């Protein structure tokens, strides 16, 4: 893509719209009748003389159970929106299962889950679903209705099962388990987090933070943003420091939103806002656990980093978007068959109220306040590790900042796989084969197009493990537990502090880039090289064609080795790339008035960097003379952020140690 260049003052103006402190009060709508009706007919209970099988609880999914012999049972799960007359093309998801089994005797049972989508690749790669035992006399429904501190860590991966692809192309999982007498054992595709559980969890946090008997500096407010089509609450959390709250003034009601009579969220001083949402796709529970990591961290009263985040930002959080889909145990759709993450262009209050509300809220804050980041949390069944999707920004300097945040996040997190992170035009348009709708209608792309917000990301996590082949820095290929997802969420927040230069830590300082300036230089150099080589030179265009979008972020060395030196016509291509250099220089010179040597310098610097990564004695990268971005293009003073650089490094295993 071609970038346009412009100076930093223009950019600052474009990020931060003027602030209007007084927002007009708007009319409230009537409070609709609110009683939840479980419309889902797929949550059922089956009684046998030796066992009970049930999915009759929030997020449950098991539509049928047959007894094949005394100790063997066959289960079927429902596809999203089963029983509703939908286009066959969209009614295809049979991935999420969640059911409970209670045995009357201490008995070993064989259970076959018989009709899953063909995710053979996932299971071949070592995927393990999850299970846990409940307390004696505890019903699954009551379990989902309540929250006890740290109970989520009792879920375990189920190791001892077999699987096969049937003639019907359905995947079958065969479970053998010795059931304790009269205790429910729950089985799920991945660590569940139901709508009911989430409500109980939010109540727990609310009661802890807003306990009147103690003094807390945390402002935590939980309110109903809108009701879903089946009249469930879509919640909106506000988390910040009490210093940021205007005690005598309330936030305005927005027409159609906040259905309870009086909105009582306090107005906030002019601080940058960070909007985070999750579970637009109901089966993507790793997204929820990343979100829970974020919520738990932000409400931690004893953590200096969390305090700094609350002090400097206002967090607006939508923990579960697709509340109906989550309640029904869907994988990807809502209960009317919509993929809600393809509805952002034209949402309607009746058709997709959740999206209507989030969009309205986001645009409200963007127009009247300073929204600084937006994250939408997801999970990806096809990958290992975690990664971010970003947008391709027109202005080079903005795009560097956009990518730089993702890069910092990758340095901070042990799970982000940089090779998977994509910030291309292509990933703003691609269609998902299941639902033929383009990514232009996702929150990430649409919010960016509407507001120009630089830091707009989708954060995706694998369901099961990391994978960092060829990346020596990260060798975490262990199966993910809940705290791994939570750590990714927490590291996203730490990365904000690092990127905003509110703190520094060893992960940045001891990296080959030394500090955030070094990171920025590296990203800018890489982007220039990609941009110029791929756009100007015929030979390299062919190279670029070979490199699909996923590999856009390969290091220069890899590009050289794999696509220039490694190919049959390597000499030809190499010659062509050398011939292209003068042209690149000329173009750069005319476009930017840059020193024509800058591209050469970038190549030399990048090569030196690669060398220095292999050989720590080489320190050529420290030469800052040709540093294109020596002026920090973002002026921190404009944010009014509170700096506090000398915090102790945070323990990577904070959840691990707390919860063992
Ligand atoms: Zn998703």
Q: For residue 428, report the distance from its CA to the centre of ligand 1, in Å.
A: 14
Element housing 483 (H / E) = helix 482-499
Which tops the pLDDT comparison, 154 or 654?
A: 154
Choose from 150-159, 543-552, 554-563, 607-616 the range with maximum mean pLDDT. Answer: 150-159
Q: For residue 616, report the distance from its CA to the centre of ligand 1, in Å.
A: 40
pLDDT at 436: 59
Same domain, 455 and 551: no
Q: For residue 378, report the distance from its CA to the centre of ligand 1, in Å.
A: 4
Instruction: For the chain, give the mean pLDDT.
Output: 78
Q: Are 58 and 194 in contact (CB under 8 A)?
A: yes
Residues near 148 by beta carbon (within 8 Å), at least 6 away in sequence: none
Domain boundary among 462, 490, 522: 522
Rounded Cα distance between 562 and 553, Å, is 13
Phi, psi of 555, rounded to the nearest 5 degrees: -70, 160
Q: For residue 435, report the distance from its CA to the centre of ligand 1, in Å.
A: 13
Domain boundary among 150, 173, 188: 188
Number of domains in the chain: 3
Q: For residue 193, report the distance from its CA to the centre of ligand 1, in Å.
A: 15
Q: For residue 11, report the distance from its CA to the centre of ligand 1, in Å.
A: 31
Q: For residue 333, report the distance from its CA to the centre of ligand 1, in Å.
A: 10
Rounded Cα distance between 523 and 616, Å, is 20
What are 304-359's pLDDT values in tens digits?
999 999 999 999 999 999 999 999 999 999 988 889 999 999 999 999 999 999 99
> The CATH number of the domain where 278 resides is what?
3.40.630.10
DSSP-derived 3-state class of residue 17: coil
Domain interval for residue 423: 195-522
Q: Are 254 and 361 in contact (CB under 8 A)?
A: yes
The pair of three-digit structure tokens given for residue 356, joined into one six-digit string: 């209507």
Same domain, 300 and 424: yes
Same domain, 556 and 513: no
What are 155-210's pLDDT values in tens digits?
999 998 999 999 999 999 999 999 999 999 999 999 999 999 999 999 999 999 99
pLDDT at 32 over 70: no
Q: For residue 313, report the distance from its CA to the centre of ligand 1, in Å.
A: 26
Quick one: angle between helices 304-312 and 285-298, nearest 10?
Answer: 90
| Rg of the chain on CA atoms, in Å | 26
Quick one: angle between helices 396-412 and 516-536, nearest 10?
Answer: 130
Q: Is 101 inside any structural domain? A: yes
Predicted confidence band of residue 647 (pLDDT cuts 50, 70, 90) = low
Q: For residue 264, report the distance from its CA to the centre of ligand 1, in Å.
A: 32
Q: For residue 412, report the distance from its CA to the centre of ligand 1, in Å.
A: 23
Paired sense of beta strands 266-268 and 245-250, if any:
antiparallel
Rounded Cα distance between 529 and 78, Å, is 49
> The CATH number of the domain where 133 resides is what?
2.60.40.3120
Question: The sheet that has 233-241: what strands, in order across it?
Answer: 218-227, 233-241, 314-318, 273-278, 371-380, 455-462, 386-389
The pair of three-digit structure tokens given for residue 608, joined into one six-digit string: 């030196």
pLDDT at 597 over 50: no
Mean pLDDT value across residues 493-507:
93
pTM of the full structure: 0.79
Domain boundary among 171, 188, 205: 188
Same domain, 181 and 199: no
Rounded Cα distance between 52 and 76, Å, is 15
Q: Is 311 inside any structural domain? A: yes
Same domain, 390 and 286: yes
Q: For residue 326, report the distance from its CA to the centre of ligand 1, in Å.
A: 13
pLDDT at 587 over 60: no
pLDDT at 171: 96
In this structure, is the dihedral angle defined by the CA atoms of residues 231, 482, 648 and 502, taken in order, positive or negative?
negative
Quick one: angle between helices 538-546 and 516-536, nearest 10?
Answer: 110
Q: For residue 593, report the distance from its CA to the centre of ligand 1, in Å.
A: 43
Q: For residue 179, report the distance from its CA to the centre of ligand 1, in Å.
A: 34
Same domain, 236 and 315: yes
Same domain, 182 and 199: no
Q: Is 6 inside any structural domain? A: no
Q: Is 530 inside any structural domain? A: no
Rounded Cα distance between 337 and 404, Å, is 37
Q: For residue 417, report the distance from its CA to the centre of ligand 1, in Å.
A: 17
Same domain, 152 and 291: no
pLDDT at 533 over 90: no
Mean pLDDT value across residues 656-660:
37
pLDDT at 365: 95
Out of 309-313, 383-387, 554-558, which region has the weakest mean confidence (pLDDT)? 554-558
What are 212-261's pLDDT values in tens digits?
888 899 999 999 999 999 999 999 999 999 999 998 889 888 889 999 87
What are 416-473's pLDDT values in tens digits?
988 888 888 887 877 665 555 778 889 999 999 999 999 999 999 999 887 665 454 5
pLDDT at 238: 97
Q: Is 37 inside any structural domain? A: no
Q: For residue 443, report the distance from its CA to the centre of ligand 1, in Å.
A: 11
Mean pLDDT value across residues 517-534:
72
Q: Is 606 inside any structural domain? A: yes
Same domain, 450 and 489: yes
Q: Is 140 inside any structural domain? A: yes
Q: Are 330 and 526 in contact (CB under 8 A)?
A: no
Q: Is 339 inside any structural domain? A: yes
Q: For residue 410, report the distance from its CA to the centre of ligand 1, in Å.
A: 20
pLDDT at 443: 93
Which tops the pLDDT comparison, 137 or 471?
A: 137
Rounded Cα distance between 107 and 103, Å, is 7
Rounded Cα distance between 253 and 359, Å, is 15
Q: For residue 285, report the distance from its CA to the centre of ligand 1, in Å.
A: 10
Mean pLDDT value across residues 606-620:
37
Q: For residue 442, report the distance from its CA to the centre of ligand 1, in Å.
A: 10
Bridge partners of residue 112, in order along the sequence: 74, 174
Element housing 124 (H / E) = helix 120-124
Burial degree of 452 (CB within 10 A; 0-12, 13-18, 19+): middle
Same domain, 179 and 199: no
What are 68-81's pLDDT values in tens digits?
999 999 999 999 98
Q: For residue 427, report the distance from its CA to the centre of ligand 1, in Å.
A: 14
Q: For residue 459, report the distance from its CA to the centre of ligand 1, in Å.
A: 9
pLDDT at 584: 45
Q: For residue 283, report the distance from its CA to the centre of ligand 1, in Å.
A: 8
Rounded Cα distance between 340 and 347, Å, is 9
Rounded Cα distance between 359 and 448, Å, is 12
Predicted confidence band of residue 475 (pLDDT cuts 50, 70, 90) = low
The pair of three-digit structure tokens given for residue 657, joined into one six-digit string: 């140690």
Residues near 529 by beta carbon (within 8 Å), at least 6 away in sequence: 556, 599, 602, 603, 606
pLDDT at 270: 83
For residue 41, the tally of other CB atoms under 10 A from its CB is 12
Give the Å distances, CA to CA, from 429 to 70, 426, 432, 553: 53, 5, 10, 19
pLDDT at 651 over 90: no
pLDDT at 540 over 60: no
Which tops the pLDDT comparison, 543 or 372?
A: 372
pLDDT at 174: 97
% of the chain residues with pLDDT over 90: 53
Q: For residue 460, report the distance from its CA to the centre of ligand 1, in Å.
A: 7
Same domain, 473 and 610: no
Q: For residue 284, report the distance from its CA to the centre of ligand 1, in Å.
A: 6
Q: For residue 379, report the distance from its CA to the centre of ligand 1, in Å.
A: 6
Look at residues 534, 541, 542, 535 and name the one whose alpha carbon lies nearest to residue 568. Answer: 542
Q: For residue 331, report the distance from its CA to the centre of ligand 1, in Å.
A: 9
Same domain, 205 and 152: no
Residues near 82 by beta carbon (within 8 Å), at least 6 away in sequence: 42, 63, 91
Q: Are 362 and 275 in contact (CB under 8 A)?
A: yes
Predicted confidence band of residue 626 (pLDDT cuts 50, 70, 90) = very low
pLDDT at 15: 30
Predicted confidence band of residue 372 (pLDDT cuts 50, 70, 90) = very high
């Amino acid at each position: 893509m071609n970038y346009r260049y412009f100076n930093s003052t223009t950019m600052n103006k474009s990020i931060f719209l003027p602030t209007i402190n007084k927002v007009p009060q708007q009319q409230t709508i009537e409070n609709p009748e609110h009683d939840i009706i479980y419309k889902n007919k797929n949550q059922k209970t089956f009684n046998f003389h030796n066992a009970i099988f049930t999915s009759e609880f929030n997020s449950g999914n098991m539509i049928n159970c047959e007894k094949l012999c005394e100790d063997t049972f066959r289960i079927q799960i429902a596809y999203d929106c089963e029983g509703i007359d939908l286009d066959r093309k969209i009614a295809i998801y049979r991935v999420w299962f969640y059911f409970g089994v209670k045995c009357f005797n201490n008995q070993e049972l064989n259970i076959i889950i018989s009709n899953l989508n063909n995710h053979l690749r996932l299971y071949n790669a070592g995927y393990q679903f999850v299970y846990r035992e409940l307390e004696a006399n505890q019903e699954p429904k009551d379990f989902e209705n309540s929250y006890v501190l740290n109970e989520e860590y009792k879920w375990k991966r189920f190791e001892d099962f077999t699987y096969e692809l049937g003639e019907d192309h359905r995947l079958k999982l065969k479970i053998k388990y010795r059931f304790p007498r009269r205790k429910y054992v729950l089985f799920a595709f991945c660590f569940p987090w139901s709508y009911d559980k989430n409500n109980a969890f939010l109540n727990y946090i609310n009661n802890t933070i807003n306990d009147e008997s103690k003094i807390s500096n945390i402002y935590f407010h939980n309110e109903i943003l809108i009701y879903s089509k089946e009249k469930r609450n879509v919640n909106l959390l506000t988390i910040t420091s009490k210093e940021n709250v205007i005690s005598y003034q309330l936030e305005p009601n927005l027409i159609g939103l906040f259905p309870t009579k009086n909105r009582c969220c306090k107005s906030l001083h002019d601080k940058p806002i960070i909007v985070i949402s999750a579970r637009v796709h109901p089966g993507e529970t790793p997204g929820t656990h990343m979100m829970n990591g974020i919520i738990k961290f932000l409400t931690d009263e004893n953590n200096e980093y969390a305090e700094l985040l609350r002090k400097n930002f206002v967090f607006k959080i939508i923990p579960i978007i697709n509340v109906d889909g989550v309640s029904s145990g869907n994988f990807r759709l809502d209960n009317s068959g919509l993929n809600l993450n393809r509805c952002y262009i034209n949402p309607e209050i009746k058709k997709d109220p959740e999206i209507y509300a989030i969009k309205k809220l986001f645009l409200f804050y963007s127009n009247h306040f300073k929204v600084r980041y937006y994250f939408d949390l997801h999970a990806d069944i096809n990958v290992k590790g975690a990664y971010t999707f970003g947008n391709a920004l027109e202005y080079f300097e903005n795009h560097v900042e956009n990518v730089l945040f993702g890069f910092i996040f990758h340095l901070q997190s042990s799970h982000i796989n940089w090779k998977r992170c994509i910030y291309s035009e292509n990933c703003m348009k691609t269609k998902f084969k299941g639902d033929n709708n383009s990514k232009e209608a996702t929150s990430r792309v649409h919010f960016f197009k509407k507001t120009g917000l630089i830091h707009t990301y989708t954060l995706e996590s694998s369901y099961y493990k990391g994978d960092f082949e060829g990346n020596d820095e990260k060798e975490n290929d262990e199966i993910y537990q809940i705290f791994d997802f939570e750590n990714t969420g927490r590291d996203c927040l730490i990365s904000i502090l690092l990127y905003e230069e509110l703190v520094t830590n060893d992960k940045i300082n001891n990296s080959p880039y030394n500090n955030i300036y070094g990171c920025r230089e590296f990203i800018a150099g890489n982007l220039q090289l990609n941009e110029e080589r791929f756009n100007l030179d015929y030979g390299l265009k062919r190279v670029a064609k070979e490199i699909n979008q996923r590999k856009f972020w390969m290091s220069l060395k890899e590009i050289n080795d794999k696509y220039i030196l490694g190919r049959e016509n390597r000499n030809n291509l190499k010659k062509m790339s050398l011939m292209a250099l003068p042209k690149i220089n000329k173009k750069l010179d005319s476009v930017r008035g840059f020193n024509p040597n800058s591209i050469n310098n970038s190549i030399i610097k990048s090569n030196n960097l690669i060398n220095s990564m292999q050989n720590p004695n080489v320190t050529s990268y420290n030469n800052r003379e040709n540093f294109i971005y020596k002026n920090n293009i973002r002026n921190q003073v404009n944010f009014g952020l509170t700096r506090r650089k000398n915090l102790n490094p945070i323990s990577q295993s904070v959840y691990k140690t707390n919860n063992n």
